[in-house]
A and B are shown apart, each in its own frame.
Chain A
Amino acid sequence: MLLEVGTLTTAYQGLVAISDISLSIEKGEIVVVAGANGAGKSTLLKSIAGLAHPRAGTIAFEGARIEGIAGHRITALGIAYVPENRRLFPRLSVADNLSLGSYLFRKRADRDAPLENVFALFPRLRERLRQRAGTLSGGEQQMLAIGRALMTRPKLLMLDEPSQGIMPRLVDEIFAAVQAIRATGVTVLLVEQRLAESLEIADRAYVLQTGRVILSGTAAAVREDPNIREAYLGI
């Protein structure tokens, strides 16, 4: 098991955002976490990334407990997190945004190594290297956010709503990139509201509602669930 979350509860100033969530991810999987706004999807990712602090429960990564560890150290362990709304550094160039992901590594060669991989996934980024990140289109910004996270050479990549605010044609490109990333050996935890599309590329799915897991299983099983078909897939 690459990641194992056990009865995790996280609260913000007394307001419980997720409670008793258990979830596990095998190496090489794409796992989708779905749910409506406010279901606790982002909180779950932030808790794993060390950017929100769980009140109770456990998080184990490659068998070692990581709950309560500072966010920058979790990144160094091999968990990368692409936040909602991308959160690039808009005044810095594309190249500098990418570099910021790789300063984890002391050796220059280690820093530059993931770059070719990122360019292979998103050739557009190579063309825009000197441009300020704030001047990119929404889709390109999402590519940069994912590329920046890949510069940390993660074993587990967590994406929070990568399709948000992006034109439909580019959404397909992003989903294709997620599959390509998995093909390079990176495990993916994907939070999405576009359940239909994400179930097509996912192995398994968890559905959250008001902070709890209400359904989990293989992508095919979740797709066939009558409640899901009605509530999310509209069929």
Chain B
Amino acid sequence: MPHGEAATAESFRSARVRRFLVAALVFAALALSPLAIRSVYLQNVLVLTLLYAAVSQSWNILGGYCGQISLGHGLYFGIGAYATSVLFVTWGILPWGGMIVGGVLAVAVALLIGYPCFRLQGHYFAIATLVIAQSGLVLMQNWDFVGAARGIQWPFGPDSWWTLQFARAKTPYIEVSLALLVASWLATVLIGESRWGYWWRAVKDDALAAESLGVEVFRSKMAAAGVSAFFTAVGGGVYAAFLAYIDPDAVMSFRFSLLFALPAVLGGIGTPWGPLVGAAVLVPLGEFSRSYLGGSGSGLDLVIYGALVMAVALARPQGLLSLVPRRRAAP
């Protein structure tokens, strides 16, 4: 925060207004984009791009801002997808409620994982998330109540916003994914400006120095993990409604954990626009390569992602966004 000096406070305020203005324009353009993009195939790509951007933004809260690298966000995504599907299919609870329940469940799981890991330094957390997410996948593949490996089919019904079911239209999913992106973007930016945001950056840079200044390092990590897991699980719920059929591999395989981290890393880790920029490059690339080069499951898209991330890591370690010239001393 700026101190004293009216001039710096003034420039800070105008930079903030500019940031929100740019955001409003970008999001408005995305909201109206279905008017221009009529192809169902391209609209499908847009849904996935926005959804990955939103979830990667959630990942970014923990990984980019707080510096705790998770390789298991697929687990929270799966929890959201399953909570939403089970509640809807079994008890008729609308997906909107299911997403929130999934979010809360994911927060609980994230805190359970964080509790032992966040007291340790080093790579324990990244490894633990990876292992626990894989265990969760195996659990879901064998748990009969949630359909085990057969998965859960959502019932066919009329198009409705209540049940978030649309047989052909993609636009509603574009708008819902966008709404989630806006929510996670706002959470990132608003918390980023608050005391917690500064604590997260301090913990990421130097946990010992942070602690010596009175920063509650452990609680900072737990808070970041909770916020991050919540939005990720809501994203899982949206995805389940979009597919209307889920099975463990379709919503929580390791591929997802990777694909939530990559856009943020590619676009610019720890920045509010990095995940969207990264997703806008990665998701269409993956979809097009799959449709033109064929072979869903051949993993060619992952090879391309890998090459791209390596190229960016070598040439622009700060991500694609660092190519955009910045105004001096942006906050």
Q: Which residues of chain A have a CB within 8 Å of any CB of chain B? A: 49-51, 70-72, 75-76, 80-83, 87-93, 95-96, 98-101, 103-104, 112, 115, 126, 129-132, 148-149, 151-152
**Residues B205 and A103 in contact, CB atoms below 8 Å apart:** no
Contact of A80 with B1 in the complex, beta carbons under 8 Å: no
B-side residues, CB < 8 A to A, are 1-5, 8, 195, 198-199, 201-202, 205-206, 208-217, 329, 331
A111 → chain B closest CB, angstroms: 8
- Contact at B3–A72, with CB atoms within 8 Å? no
A49 to B210: give the CA distance in the assembly, Å: 12
B217 CB contacts on chain A under 8 angstroms: 72
Q: Are A129 and B3 in contact (CB under 8 A)?
A: yes
**Smallest CB-CB separation from A158: which chain B residue?**
B212
CA of A130 to CA of B1 in the docked complex: distance in angstroms? 10
Q: Which one, B1, B205, B206, B211, contacts A99 given CB within 8 A?
A: B1
Bound CA–CA A49/B212 (angstroms)? 7
In the complex, A132 Cα to B1 Cα: how many Å?
13
Report which of B5, B195, B216, B329 forms a contact with A132, defined as CB distance below 8 A: B329
Among candidates A90, A104, A152, residue contacting B205 with C-beta atoms closer than 8 Å:
A90
**What are the residues of chain A within 8 A of B209 when measuring CB–CB?**
83, 87-89
What CA separation (Å) do A126 and B210 show in the bound complex? 22
Taking a contact as CB atoms under 8 Å apart, the answer to whether B214 and A101 are in contact is yes
Q: Which residues of A contact B208 (CB under 8 A)?
A: 51, 83, 87
Q: Lowest 10 A-B CB distances belong to which pairs?
A: A75-B214, A87-B209, A71-B211, A104-B214, A81-B212, A89-B205, A130-B329, A103-B195, A101-B213, A72-B214
Q: Of B8, B199, B211, B329, which is within 8 A of A51 by CB?
A: B211
Residues of B within 8 A of A103 (CB): 195, 198-199, 213-215
A164–B213 CA distance with the chains assembled, in angstroms: 21
Q: Of A91, A93, A148, which contacts B213 at CB under 8 A?
A: A148
Q: Which of B4, B208, B211, B214 has the most CB of A within 10 A?
A: B214
CB distance from B16 to the nearest CB of A (A): 14
Q: Across the interface, which residues of B come within 8 angstroms of A104, CB to CB? A: 213-214
Known: A100-B202, A103-B198, A129-B3. A93 touches B329 (CB 8 A): yes
A96 to B331, CA, bound (A): 9
Residues of B within 8 A of A96 (CB): 1, 198
Closest residue of chain A to B208, judged by CB? A51
Which residue of chain A is the closest to B219 with respect to CB atoms? A72
List 7 A–B pairs whose Cβ atoms lie within 8 Å, in order of A's numbering: A51-B212, A72-B216, A89-B205, A95-B1, A103-B199, A132-B329, A149-B213
Nearest B residue to A152, CB-CB: B214
- The reply to whether A89 and B206 form a contact with Cβ atoms under 8 Å apart is yes
Chain B: minimal CB distance from A116 (Å): 8
Across the interface, B2 reaches (CB within 8 A) one of A129, A132, A152, namely A129
Q: Does B214 lie within 8 Å of A92, measured CB to CB?
A: no
In the assembled complex, the Cα of A27 lies from the Cα of B1 at a distance in Å of 33
Specify which of B5, B201, B205, B217 lies most central, judged by the most chain A CB atoms within 10 Å of its CB: B205
A131 CA / B45 CA spacing, docked (Å):
42
User: How long is the Cα–Cα vector from A87 to B4 in the complex, in angstroms?
Assistant: 25
Please, how many angstroms separate the alpha-carbon atoms of A153 and B126 in the complex?
36
| Closest chain A CB from B327 CB (angstroms) | 11
Q: Are A92 and B211 in contact (CB under 8 A)?
A: no
A115 with B213, Cβ < 8 A, contacts A51-B208, A130-B8, A131-B329 known: no
Contact B1 A115, beta carbon cutoff 8 Å: no
In the bound assembly, the distance between CA atoms of A91 and B209 in angstroms comes to 14
Interface centre among B5, B199, B205, B212 (most CB of A within 10 A): B212
Cβ distance A107 to chain B, nearest Cβ, rounded Å: 12
Please indicate which of the listed interface residues B4, B5, B199 has the most CB atoms of chain A within 10 Å of its own CB.
Answer: B4
**Alpha-carbon distance A132/B210, docked complex (angstroms):** 17
State in angstroms the CA–CA spacing of A50 and B201 once bound together. 21
Contact of A115 with B214 in the complex, beta carbons under 8 Å: no
List 19 additional A-B contacts (Cβ < 8 Å) besides A72-B215, A93-B331, A129-B3: A50-B211, A51-B208, A71-B211, A75-B212, A76-B214, A80-B212, A81-B212, A83-B212, A89-B202, A90-B205, A91-B201, A100-B215, A101-B214, A103-B213, A131-B329, A132-B329, A149-B212, A151-B213, A152-B214
